[in-house]
Chains A and B, each alone.
Chain A
Amino acid sequence: MIPQTFDYVRARNVGDALKALAAKDGTKVIAGGHSLIPLLKFRLAQPARLVDIGHLDELRGVTEVRRGAKIGAATTYRDLLESKLLAERYPIIAEVTSGIGDLQVRNKGTIGGGLAHADPAADMPAVMLALDAQLVLRSKRGKRTVAAREFFQGAFSTAMAEDELLIAIALPPLPRGAGTAYVSFEQAASGYALAGAAAVVKRSRSTVAHCTLAMTGISDRPYLVRAAEQLVGTQGLPDAIEHVAAQAAAGVEVNGDIHAPADYRRHLAVVAARRALQKAFVRSKK
């Protein structure tokens, strides 16, 4: 049951939704509703009005953009899993998505809703950072693109303004032959990440030529591990990987809560990072 009342309008197109948001009258977007409705039940969100974008075909689907891809913000996790283009170009998307929630949650939850919600324990944000995704935002004032790496500003806080709508997620091409991996330790009941690591590794013959590592679940926002660069130029041997993984939570204020105290979460970060780097390395082409 939702204790508080609100109004509801269904947007007929993106322009409609932008107009509703521009009113700045306490209107909130609803896409799949799988983060928002739970909040409404607990009075943690109290919008005056919801504008529904869940039915807008113009916000759904995956399209090819040169060697990359563009994902509509209201594309469900289910649709991501069924995309052949993503499976071919970004297998890490299916790897992370198959572990999000359950079958029913994936049928309704959208990638844009998950990113806009910015739960610090959500899985997808780490992958977006690792892939250097670009988030396309629109409002009545205009359109702008914000890198995923700049988008997350704290727990449940993003670079989006109140009147902005996330339209699409643009994925640049991966370095040729790169291997990718997402590894997480899930909170047993919710499935959210206690610690999650997304890695991209490219080799050039026997030497690592590129390495990106992003973490989620550890702190108030997902982040890139700068030390990942230290794998470049090495042979990707276990020692070199361990050296980078050991720094997965270095200099970060680590969350501690009933699910995992900070020192345990820090330990999980290192293990998740090590496993993700190893998998990505093995999957990269020699």
Chain B
Amino acid sequence: MKRTVSLSVNGATRTAEVEPRALLAHVLRDDLDLTGTHIGCDTSQCGACTVLIDGRAVKSCTMLAVQAEGCQITTIEGLATNGNLHPLQQAFWEKHGLQCGFCTPGMIMTAVDLLAQNSNPSEGEIRHAIEGNYCRCTGYQNIVAAIQAAAATLRGATPARAAS
């Protein structure tokens, strides 16, 4: 049976009429029109659907919308402030950390969680952190470079020279 769920998404309270079986990924896309969150596999593998739940990266295809009530949800649409891209978005652009871009929103949301825990991750730590995000285009090289560059920006350092 449908019920009203009240979700806090990107700082605003949004409501939707959904069944308990509705996955958060679907509710974000279909009910709240936040289509930046992608659905690649629907089987908890690819990470395209990653959003932040109370600051932690979570695969939204593996969470019920009702489970997210009372949590702070952040999607890719919530990262830019006043029209300025988040340093990770900027770095993915500058380092060309994408090709088709399908994996990019999930990749960036995972990286937000990583950089909140570790402001200066090594290449190995970055690759371990994005293990649950599949990219079928880039070969990951520029994704790693983009995350390193964003980490430098967030630390207030001069961005490292392009590795590629």
> Nearest chain-A residue to B20 (Cβ)?
A8
A33–B56 Cα gap in the complex (Å)?
15
Closest CB of chain B to A103's CB: distance in Å? 5
Interface: A50 (CB within 8 A): yes
Contact partner of B132 among A7, A52, A102, CB < 8 A?
A102
A121–B131 Cα gap in the complex (Å)?
19
Q: Tell me the residues in window 217-231 of chain A with beta carbons closer than 8 Å to chain B beta carbons.
A: none
B67 touches A104 (CB 8 A): no
Interface: B38 (CB within 8 A): no
A234–B4 Cα gap in the complex (Å)?
66
Interface: B62 (CB within 8 A): yes
> Nearest chain-A residue to B106 (Cβ)?
A104
Interface: B50 (CB within 8 A): yes
B21 touches A4 (CB 8 A): yes
B63 touches A108 (CB 8 A): yes
B132 touches A33 (CB 8 A): no
Are A107 and B113 CB-contacts (below 8 A) given A1-B26, A6-B20? Answer: yes
A40–B22 Cα gap in the complex (Å)?
11
B44 touches A34 (CB 8 A): yes
**Cβ of A103: which chain B residues have Cβ within 8 Å of it?**
57, 110, 113-114, 128-132
A37 touches B56 (CB 8 A): no
B58 touches A107 (CB 8 A): yes
- The digit string for A92-118, where 1 denotes a CB below 8 A from any CB of B, is 000000100111110110000000000
**Cβ of B95: which chain A residues have Cβ within 8 Å of it?**
none
Question: In terms of DSSP, what is the predominant structure of the interface of chain A?
Answer: mixed
Q: Tell me the residues in window 1-20 of chain A with beta carbons closer than 8 Å to chain B beta carbons.
A: 1-2, 4-8, 10
Number of A residues whose C-beta is below 8 Å from B?
29
Interface: A41 (CB within 8 A): yes
Are A2 and B57 CB-contacts (below 8 A) given A8-B64, A103-B132, A104-B132? Answer: no
Interface: B7 (CB within 8 A): no
Interface size range of chain B in the complex: 20 to 34
Q: Tell me the residues in window 78-135 of chain A with beta carbons closer than 8 Å to chain B beta carbons.
A: 78, 98, 101-105, 107-108
A34–B58 Cα gap in the complex (Å)?
10
Q: Tell me the residues in window 25-73 of chain B with beta carbons closer than 8 Å to chain A beta carbons.
A: 26, 42-45, 47, 50, 53, 56-59, 62-64, 66-67, 69-70
**Cβ of A104: which chain B residues have Cβ within 8 Å of it?**
47, 50, 57-59, 110, 132
Closest CB of chain B to A109's CB: distance in Å? 10
Interface: B19 (CB within 8 A): yes
Interface: B88 (CB within 8 A): no
Closest CB of chain A to B144's CB: distance in Å? 15
> Nearest chain-A residue to B51 (Cβ)?
A104
**Cβ of B44: which chain A residues have Cβ within 8 Å of it?**
34, 37-38, 105
Are A55 and B131 CB-contacts (below 8 A) given A40-B21, A78-B56, A104-B47? Answer: no
Closest CB of chain B to A104's CB: distance in Å? 5
> Nearest chain-A residue to B45 (Cβ)?
A189
**Cβ of B57: which chain A residues have Cβ within 8 Å of it?**
103-104, 107
**Cβ of B20: which chain A residues have Cβ within 8 Å of it?**
5-8, 50
A33–B133 Cα gap in the complex (Å)?
19
A5–B20 Cα gap in the complex (Å)?
8
A50–B57 Cα gap in the complex (Å)?
23
Interface: B23 (CB within 8 A): yes
**Cβ of B133: which chain A residues have Cβ within 8 Å of it?**
102
**Cβ of B58: which chain A residues have Cβ within 8 Å of it?**
104, 107-108
Are A33 and B62 CB-contacts (below 8 A) given A41-B42, A107-B56? Answer: yes
B21 touches A38 (CB 8 A): no
A54–B23 Cα gap in the complex (Å)?
16
> Nearest chain-A residue to B52 (Cβ)?
A107
Interface: A30 (CB within 8 A): yes
- The digit string for B116-157, where 1 denotes a CB below 8 A from any CB of A, is 000000000000111111000000000000000000000000
What 6 A-B pairs come out closest when comparing CB atoms? A102-B132, A8-B20, A2-B21, A107-B56, A102-B131, A104-B59
Can you pick out 21 interface pairs between chain A and chain B where the beta carbons lie within 8 Å of each other? Answer: A1-B23, A1-B26, A2-B23, A5-B19, A5-B21, A33-B62, A33-B63, A33-B64, A33-B67, A34-B44, A38-B44, A102-B131, A102-B132, A103-B114, A103-B128, A103-B129, A103-B130, A105-B132, A108-B56, A108-B58, A108-B62
